[in-house]
Amino acid sequence: MKEREAGKERNFSPPFSLYPLALILFACACASVKLDVIKVGPWFAPRDWREVEVFASRDETRSPWGGIAIIHSERVSAKIPEGRLENLKLQARKKAAEFGADGVIITVDEASAGPQMGVYEEPELFLSALAIKYVTAASTPAAK
């Protein structure tokens, strides 16, 4: 950027000490992943995220339940470190806690790249989660 000062032109350059800060801000912006939420049932009073059980499949749940929210992440590179993937799962668990969920079923799937057309595409992953609430009293029709 050029500035004019009393008829003289000079180049403007930020101080060297600001470059590391800019790099950190850029890295943090790339690290955050937005979670989309779809409400599919009633939401309840928020609870502590540590109280929300985490499951890898529906078969792991321990009693009847109903879904209250679907949580999806944006696509991320399949080459992300395992720690970042665990952080994404933690974000989904905390989001489920905001809706009063008793548990969350979390899966990580590979995004289909579609037709390649001779262009290399990085493999991508996305997180899908179902926030659930246990049914405390379920009635069934009487057998005849």
**What is the domain-level CATH number for residue 76?**
3.30.110
pLDDT at 144 over 90: no
Residue 92 and residue 118: Cα distance in Å, rounded?
35
The CA-CA-CA angle for residues 93, 98, 103, to 5°, reads: 45
Q: Is residue 8 part of a domain?
A: no
What single letter denotes the amino acid at residue 38?
A: I
The pLDDT of residue 76 is 87
The pLDDT of residue 114 is 63
Q: Tell me, what DSSP letter sits at residue 104?
A: E
Q: Is residue 110 part of a domain?
A: yes
Q: What is the mean pLDDT of residues 19-43?
A: 65
Q: What is the mean pLDDT of residues 9-35?
A: 52
Question: Which tokens in the block code for residue 10?
Answer: 């000079």
Question: Which tokens in the block code for residue 48?
Answer: 């502590």
Q: Is residue 14 part of a domain?
A: no
Q: Is residue 45 part of a domain?
A: yes
Q: What is the mean pLDDT of residues 11-34?
A: 50
Q: What is the mean pLDDT of residues 73-96?
A: 90
CB neighbourhood size of 71 (10 A): 22
CB 72 within 8 A of CB 142: no
Residue 105 and residue 92: Cα distance in Å, rounded?
10
Q: What is the mean pLDDT of residues 22-51?
A: 75
H/E stretch holding 4 reads strand 2-5
- For 78, residues 6+ apart whose C-beta sits below 8 A from its C-beta are 110, 122, 123, 124, 125
pLDDT band at 19 (very low <50, low <70, confident <90, very high): very low
Q: Which domain holds residue 102?
A: 33-134
Tell me: the pLDDT tens digits for 90-119? 999 999 999 999 999 999 988 876 666 666
Q: Is residue 143 part of a domain?
A: no
The pLDDT of residue 29 is 39
pLDDT band at 62 (very low <50, low <70, confident <90, very high): confident
Q: Is residue 144 part of a domain?
A: no
Number of domains in the chain: 1
Q: Is residue 28 part of a domain?
A: no
Q: Is residue 62 part of a domain?
A: yes
